[in-house]
């Protein structure tokens, strides 16, 4: 059950985009980090976790609210940063807030996840279909139960799916 909760938490923290082209294969954040994207049904999501220390307006993310996985800076390029929920949302409580997302992207809503889950065949199988098969990734991932921080990815909604 603990492992399932971790997987669900990872899936819940994917971010959404709104202003990128529907055929986008990458998206760039304020610092110039480039993230690959993947199309899943009618939605485009990043396939990599965010690794920015700045919001899209150039303001710094509070360094107390982010950290590398297992406090190992060598994991930043491959796994991104782990962010507290306050950092992910940039202290917003509004659904669809841009938060840590690159310009034109936003934190996903429940409706966004429902579209994704339904496309993947429902809640019984969607998580398994999205999980990386890279065992090294899961072995290196910081224990969410211990650090209360989360890896973050993104989704593009330029096709009108919100």
Per-residue pLDDT of the chain (162 residues; tens, 9 = 90+): 333 333 233 333 344 444 333 455 899 999 999 988 888 888 888 788 899 999 999 999 999 999 888 888 998 988 888 888 889 999 999 887 888 988 888 888 788 888 989 999 998 888 878 776 665 655 555 554 444 555 666 555 454 444
Q: Tell me how many domains the chain contains.
A: 1
Tell me if 113 is assigned to some domain: yes
Q: Is 110 helix (H, G, I), strand (E, B) or coil?
A: helix
Tell me if 148 is assigned to some domain: yes
Tell me if 3 is assigned to some domain: no
Tell me if 1 is assigned to some domain: no
Q: Which domain holds residue 89?
A: 12-48+60-155
Tell me if 70 is assigned to some domain: yes
Tokens linked to 157: 């909604």
Task: Give the Å distances, CA to CA, from 126 to 35, 82, 130, 135.
Answer: 22, 23, 6, 18
Tell me if 161 is assigned to some domain: no
Q: What is the pTM of this model?
A: 0.71
Tell me if 108 is assigned to some domain: yes
Tell me if 54 is assigned to some domain: no
């Amino acid at each position: 059950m603990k492992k399932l909760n971790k997987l669900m938490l990872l899936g819940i923290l994917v971010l959404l985009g709104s202003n990128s082209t529907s055929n986008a294969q990458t998206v760039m954040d304020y610092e110039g980090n480039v993230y690959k994207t993947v199309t899943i049904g009618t939605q485009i999501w990043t396939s990599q976790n965010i690794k920015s220390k700045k919001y899209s307006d150039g303001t710094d993310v509070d360094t107390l609210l982010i950290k590398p996985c297992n406090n190992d800076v060598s994991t930043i390029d491959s796994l991104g940063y782990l962010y507290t929920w306050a950092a992910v949302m940039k202290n917003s409580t509004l659904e669809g807030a841009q938060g840590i997302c690159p310009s034109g992207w936003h934190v996903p809503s429940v409706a966004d996840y429902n579209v994704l889950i339904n496309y993947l065949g429902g809640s019984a199988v969607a998580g398994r279909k999205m999980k990386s098969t890279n065992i090294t990734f899961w072995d290196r991932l910081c224990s969410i139960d211990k650090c209360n921080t989360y890896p973050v990815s993104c989704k593009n909604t330029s096709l009108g799916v919100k």
